[in-house]
Chains A and B, each alone.
Chain A
């Protein structure tokens, strides 16, 4: 080792940060340091400082770059602003590269808190963000609810008055369910025949489940074609909405589709499904997305990753509401008929007899002089009570022709006097017995008596008029004239002055009496007629007489015989026999006194006296 020392050249610019270590400078420095570690050499330089600046140089040479980097990084970490800038620069790409699951888990709490804070701070912001997402869903949900209500209303109205309706109303009452629920349960007969789960992007079939006995063409082709049709509608009408075709209906067949983020579920339903089925299908789709999210997203036509998905779809296919085909209930129908036919007949007959009864009551009410106070039908019997004028039509007689059984009618009538003019008229006619020459009539609600009558009858009529006025009934007697009896009196005298004479011992008058008889018959007939006109009945008393000769008993007998003979002769001349009364006076009423031996032709006669009734 030599003591001569080369001046040490300190490497000033040798250790460039960007280049490799300056090997020449390092070599020189190491040689220099090596020399100095020689103990002898060290002994000669007592004043060698404890800290050797070359060490620092050496450090610079060896790790200068790292020191510089470290200082930069330290500085970066110390300055919050710069550090934030640096992290901000790499954060997007770092997030993109991070494994999604782990990143999601790490960020979830922070994101949750952030969202929570945001809502607390300004709920409007989140509402604005979610508005376009929620609005279609809300709209769809409301639409379905309205459809459901209409469907329910429609079905309820359709069945409300049917036989089924009655049956279902009973079921609703029995089970406690609402009537519309029961109606929907029975009327919505449907069956989910196929369910397709279709990849939304490629239209490839993910899974297909079919109901028993349901057939279809190749499900893979159908799946793609359904997808193509969705695209076709969307493109044709420039529909931007992310949902798909909701419903396709073809006769009895309906295709309902529910669109999820990665897959569309299409249910093929035969019949009339309830709107709630939409929700069930949507639930199944949601569950499938929850369970198989990753496999669905990465689906590339290989469904080996989606084992078990068909079990989920099967729940859709199992849904059906079948019409209860228990056969026609003949027994029930027969039983119902057995009960209902007699009931209907009974009802009809009751109704008919009720109608007949009412017709009878109406007929009674229309009758003058009858007032119906109460009527009822009870236990197949008819009860009626009221007032009736004795002169009114007999209620019982009105039953004829009404087909109401008189035996079933129980009536109770109180008599009263009706002041209706026609009844007053009837009563007057009965009590006054007006002569034929008097006419009693009703003129504008008043009773009027007009014509000729005997004075005493007119007096009676006036008395009746006064009595009636107290009841407010007017009987006008001003038009009554007194009957002219002069002519009658003349006739009466003429008749009473006539005698029919007989020969002694004879009961038949002689031929000379024939003209007398003829005249007498005419006079009697005329008198009877005139008397009848005046309201009186004339009676003609034929009294037979005998002379005083012979025995008294024989005289009585012959006098009666003479009266009888004249009666017969008058009868023969047209005089009504009931007007003629006969009696035999014997010798007790002689016209002239006589000698009982010779007798008197004047006393052998029949005399006539008139009485008016």
Chain B
């Protein structure tokens, strides 16, 4: 079983470094700047089956207009990534999700607040995060540095897209 997952997020939120250590990859990061997309694979073992998440890492751009929405066609889930130290990146991630849902309808997603290791520069309040959780959203505070919660997030998404 394989599923197409798109990783969305603004510029420099750490999407690429987030997956680098945890996924199977054959393409170099230069694909992001040349083709605008890089494909990685994350195999997640669920209790009854293994799911191969084919991760489409789309080039992060703060300019939403240049976002190539056609790359999301056929995706069954999203990984929204925001930089926990820059509040503006949350808005970018949410806007990207809105654009995708407008085009292809609602789909399961997880929201990752990355760079959780930089607590002193943290810019997202717990209250805000709680509000999202109350909407039923799956929120993870991740660190590409320590790998904290990264596997959990993919595991969660895998069970959501195969449900």
Q: Which A residues contact B (CB, under 8 angstroms)?
A: 199, 201-205, 217-218, 220-222, 224-225, 228-229, 231-232, 234-235, 300-302
Contacts and interface: CB of A to CB of B under 8 A. Distances in A.
B36 A232 contact: yes
Contacts of A225: 27, 31, 35, 39
B94 interface: no
A224 B54 contact: yes
A240 to B, nearest CB: 12
B56 A228 contact: yes
Contacts of B76: 202, 300-301
A205 B70 contact: no
Given A220-B2, A228-B35, A199 B74 contact: yes
Interface string B125-161: 0000000000000000000000000000000000000
A221 B40 contact: yes
Contacts of A201: 73-74
Given A220-B2, A221-B26, A222-B26, 9 more contacts: A202-B75, A202-B76, A220-B41, A224-B39, A224-B54, A228-B39, A231-B73, A232-B37, A234-B70
Interface string B51-82: 01010100000000000101101111000000
B68 A301 contact: no
Given A201-B74, A202-B75, A231-B68, A220 B54 contact: yes
B42 to A, nearest CB: 11
Contact of A203 (B4, B26, B68): B4
A301 B41 contact: no
B24 interface: yes
B126 to A, nearest CB: 36
Given A217-B26, A231-B71, A235-B68, A224 B35 contact: no
A201 B27 CA distance: 21
Nearest to A222: B26
A218 B27 CA distance: 11
Contacts of A228: 35, 37, 39, 56, 71
B27 to A, nearest CB: 6
B74 A203 contact: yes
Contacts of B4: 202-204, 224, 301
A51 B56 CA distance: 84
Interface in B96-115: none
Contacts of A234: 70
A396 B76 CA distance: 105
A301 B54 CA distance: 10
Contact of B35 (A202, A221, A229): A229
A300 B75 CA distance: 9
26 contacts: A199-B74, A201-B73, A201-B74, A202-B4, A202-B75, A202-B76, A203-B4, A204-B2, A204-B3, A220-B41, A221-B24, A221-B41, A222-B26, A224-B39, A224-B56, A225-B27, A228-B35, A228-B39, A231-B37, A231-B68, A231-B70, A231-B71, A231-B73, A232-B36, A301-B2, A301-B76
B1 interface: yes
A524 to B, nearest CB: 125
Contacts of A218: 24, 26, 41
A204 B54 contact: yes
Nearest to A229: B35
B143 to A, nearest CB: 25
A231 B56 CA distance: 13
In the A-B complex, the 9 residue pairs with the smallest Cβ-Cβ separation, listed nearest first, are A202-B74, A201-B74, A202-B4, A224-B39, A217-B26, A301-B2, A228-B37, A301-B3, A225-B39
Contacts of A205: 2
B58 to A, nearest CB: 9
Contacts of B37: 228, 231-232
A209 to B, nearest CB: 17
Contacts of B35: 225, 228-229, 232
Nearest to B3: A301
Nearest to A300: B76
B38 to A, nearest CB: 8
Contacts of B25: 221
A374 B70 CA distance: 89
Nearest to B69: A235
A229 B56 CA distance: 12
Contacts of B71: 228, 231
A202 B2 CA distance: 10
A229 B27 CA distance: 13
A201 B72 CA distance: 9
B3 to A, nearest CB: 5
A516 B70 CA distance: 147
A392 B2 CA distance: 106
Contacts of A217: 26
A220 B52 contact: yes
A235 B31 CA distance: 16
A302 B2 CA distance: 6
B59 to A, nearest CB: 11
Contacts of B74: 199, 201-204
B27 A221 contact: yes
Q: Which of B4, B27, B68 has the most CB of A within 10 A?
A: B4
Contacts of A199: 74
A551 to B, nearest CB: 150
B146 to A, nearest CB: 26
Contacts of B36: 232
B6 to A, nearest CB: 10
Contacts of A221: 24-27, 39-41, 54
B158 to A, nearest CB: 11
Contacts of B26: 217-218, 221-222
Q: Which of B25, B26, B54, B75 has the most CB of A within 10 A?
A: B54
A602 B54 CA distance: 160
B49 to A, nearest CB: 9
Contacts of B2: 204-205, 220, 301
Nearest to B54: A224
B70 A235 contact: yes
Contacts of B27: 221, 225
